[in-house]
Amino acid sequence: MTAAAPPPDFQQDRILALVLAGTVSLPSTPPATGDLFLTRDPEPIPDLTAFGVLPTPYFIKIVQVVSPLCVVTRTLALKDLRAVTIPDPEEAGREQPRRVTLPLARIVGHIEKLARDLGDEVEHLLFEKAVIHVPEGAQVLVRVDSYFGVTAAEAAQHLIPPGKTCCH
């Protein structure tokens, strides 16, 4: 008696489980999502290969609009991207499309094409309403744009929380 081959989806699920192990979702806490951009560093990249550092001209940036008054932008190296969760392209136009998680291997062609098409542009939209999956230790630059009203007396004070410093 021969064993039945696992269904193709089973293999995909196993691969995805391995890809997602040890990762963090950004933005986290569903249903939070953001627009994912491929960004090229506009500055010339020095050759640091002698120091074991490979040049990384590409970054990814995910922009989460929490509200019209609060936008969180997270920027990190493209090399840290493991997978992306997006609305299922096959269900485009539906009010609540199913979400699919694509390992980097499934979207690398899309990323390479956009990188070639960037030309003089510094960034280009990869996916809308995305969630990225990156290693827990990935370095992330976080920028929070928050608009709120305060009194003139409060505005005269330093609004950075105690113990945090701006530039040092």
Per residue, what are the HEC states of 28-63?
CCCCCCEEEEEEECCCCCCCCHHHCCCCCCEEEEEE
Identify the pLDDT of residue 163.
60
Note whether 40 and 122 are within 8 A (CB).
Answer: yes
Kindly report, residue by residue over 92-141, the tens digit of the pLDDT.
778 888 899 998 888 888 888 888 887 778 889 999 999 999 999 999 99
CA dihedral 156, 141, 106, 98 (to 10 degrees): -30
Three-class secondary structure of residue 90 per DSSP: helix
Residue 162: per-residue pLDDT: 60
Tell me the whole-structure pTM to 2 decimals.
0.77
Decide: residue 144, CB within 10 A, 0-12 exposed, 13-18 middle, 19+ buried. exposed
What's residue 64's pLDDT? Answer: 97
Of the two residues 74 and 168, the one the predictor is more confident about is 74
Give per-residue pLDDT as tens, 26-70: 998 889 999 999 988 766 666 667 766 656 678 999 999 999 999
Residue 80 pLDDT > 90: yes
